[in-house]
């Protein structure tokens, strides 16, 4: 049995893709069994060989006493018999699934696949992707037959960047296999590292659907409160005040307005919409939720511009400071950050924009969005937008913000309502 061989260190487990998802999984397994950590980015591999996490989520201590080899050499994968694929599954510019990384990883594994091997996919996909898109590539690249020669499973990742509470060990892991035997072997393997236990899904498609529904449900709920915030803004009432009052009921679901980006919630619903279209159904609720959430950055930018104009300022001469550029608080990840939509909307009004972020990398921002981070702050901004509530911003106060604004006056846009009831003298606005 492959589980026992892994436990006895007679064989190795390989993780393909060492990003936010793959690296923590690889290091956790390496506490118990022999692991090969594979990534096509040789530069990232060099960092991990030095006990550095390129994503800056893990410390050097997390690399210590781990039985792991980091490599970008495909030949090294031949030593493994259990493969976990954890590469990103983004969308393209038209919001369609971009399976290129996943299919490329499938071909890589297929080139080293042997009889008796196991392949488990963790990348978020639409129901059916593993069997319809990935397995044919595994068969083609290996010359082997699915189920006869190798087994496949799916176990969706549930890692939340920046979250030190809901870690791999502490969250129940969904697992699935292509047959009862494979399900049992895969479940036992993951139970080595997941203290919370595993949930055995009835099929690979069910496991795929479960993951994508988790994020779609959250996306739709956030879109509702985002739409409510637009309505309440027109009615002159604070959304967070409303939600605080409504939240006193026992069964009220506590979701809050904000920018919905990142590589999960802002992406995964499009995978489900795409698959629904293939099945002949045009999703209404999910698409509507995506429209609302995708438009919030532009909405915030426009509202800020309107308030600057309302103060009698010449809009082309206005300066705005945007605080925060990552897709969420306390992470360095800028992928699919919707803060860029705020910036783009401000610039469409010819407003001068400075961007700061204590977590983000300026060169990455420049490469990804053509926006570099500011190192020197002005003292004459017309507006400040607190876009991401990093821990570094939580100790600031109105007096500090005044030092950045022209004549100590101006507009303070508090996207997440962090400073609600704390701003007295400035023009305050939040979602």
Q: List the catalytic residues.
A: 264
d(CA 151, CA 182): 6
Q: Strand 68-71 to strand 35-38: parallel, antiparallel, or no bridges (unpaired)?
A: parallel
- Which letter, b or e, does each residue of 273-295 get, where b requires 16 or more Cβ atoms within 10 Å of its Cβ? bbbbeeeeeebeebbebbebbbb
CA-based diameter of the chain, in Å?
75
CB 329 within 8 A of CB 317: no
CB 274 within 8 A of CB 96: yes
For the chain, the first-to-last Cα distance in angstroms comes to 55
Measured from the Cβ of residue 230, the count of other Cβ atoms closer than 10 Å reads 16
Burial class of residue 396 in the structure, from the number of CB atoms within 10 Å of its CB (0-12 exposed, 13-18 middle, 19+ buried): middle
CB 122 within 8 A of CB 134: no
d(CA 43, CA 210): 34
Q: What element of type H or E holds 36? A: strand 35-38
Q: DSSP readout, 315-334?
A: GGG-EEEEE--SSSTT----
Q: What are phi and psi of 260, to 5 degrees?
A: -110, 95
d(CA 349, CA 319): 11
Identify the residue whose tokens are 């001068």.
352
Radius of gyration over every alpha carbon of the chain, rounded to an integer in angstroms: 24
d(CA 183, CA 193): 16
Q: Residue 382 carries which DSSP code?
A: S
Identify the residue whose tokens are 């009862």.
180
Half-sphere exposure of 331 (CA within 13 A, CB side): 19
Q: Residue 420 carries which DSSP code?
A: T
């Amino acid at each position: 049995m492959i589980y026992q061989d892994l436990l006895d260190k007679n064989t190795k487990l390989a993780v393909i893709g060492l990003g936010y998802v793959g690296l923590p999984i690889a290091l956790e397994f390496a506490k118990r069994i022999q692991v090969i950590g594979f990534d096509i980015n040789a530069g990232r591999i060099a960092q991990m060989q030095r006990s550095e996490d390129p994503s800056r989520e893990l410390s050097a201590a997390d690399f210590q006493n781990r039985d792991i080899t980091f490599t970008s050499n495909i030949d090294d994968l031949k030593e493994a018999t259990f493969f976990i694929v954890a590469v990103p599954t983004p969308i393209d510019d038209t919001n369609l699934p971009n399976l290129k990384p996943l299919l490329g990883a499938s071909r890589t594994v297929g080139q080293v696949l042997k009889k008796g091997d196991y392949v488990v996919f963790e990348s978020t996909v639409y129901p059916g992707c593993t069997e319809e898109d990935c397995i044919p590539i595994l068969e083609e690249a290996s010359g082997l037959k699915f189920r006869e020669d190798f087994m496949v499973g799916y176990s969706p990742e549930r890692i939340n960047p920046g979250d030190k509470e809901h870690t791999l060990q502490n969250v129940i892991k969904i697992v699935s296999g292509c047959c009862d035997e494979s399900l049992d072997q895969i479940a036992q393997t993951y139970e080595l590292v997941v203290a919370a236990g595993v949930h055995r899904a009835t099929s690979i498609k069910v496991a795929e659907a479960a993951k994508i529904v988790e994020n779609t449900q959250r996306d739709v709920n956030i879109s509702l409160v985002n739409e409510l915030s637009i309505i309440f803004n027109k009615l002159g009432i604070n959304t967070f005040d409303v939600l605080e009052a409504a939240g006193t009921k026992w069964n009220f679901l506590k979701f809050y307005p904000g920018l919905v980006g990142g590589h999960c919630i802002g992406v995964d619903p499009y995978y489900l919409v795409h698959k629904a279209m293939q099945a002949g159904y045009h999703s209404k609720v999910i698409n509507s939720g995506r429209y609302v959430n995708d438009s919030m950055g532009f909405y915030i930018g426009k509202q800020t511009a309107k308030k600057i104009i309302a103060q009698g300022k010449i809009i082309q001469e206005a300066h705005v400071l945007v605080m925060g550029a990552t897709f969420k608080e306390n992470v360095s990840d800028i992928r699919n950050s919707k803060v860029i939509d705020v910036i783009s909307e401000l610039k469409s009004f010819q407003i001068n924009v400075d961007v700061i972020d204590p977590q983000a990398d300026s060169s990455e921002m420049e490469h990804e969005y053509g926006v570099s981070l500011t190192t020197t702050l002005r003292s004459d901004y017309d507006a400040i937008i607190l876009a991401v509530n990093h821990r570094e911003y939580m100790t600031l106060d109105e007096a500090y913000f005044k030092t950045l604004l022209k004549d100590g006056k101006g507009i303070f846009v508090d996207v997440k309502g962090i400073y609600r009831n704390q701003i007295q003298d400035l023009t305050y606005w939040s979602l």
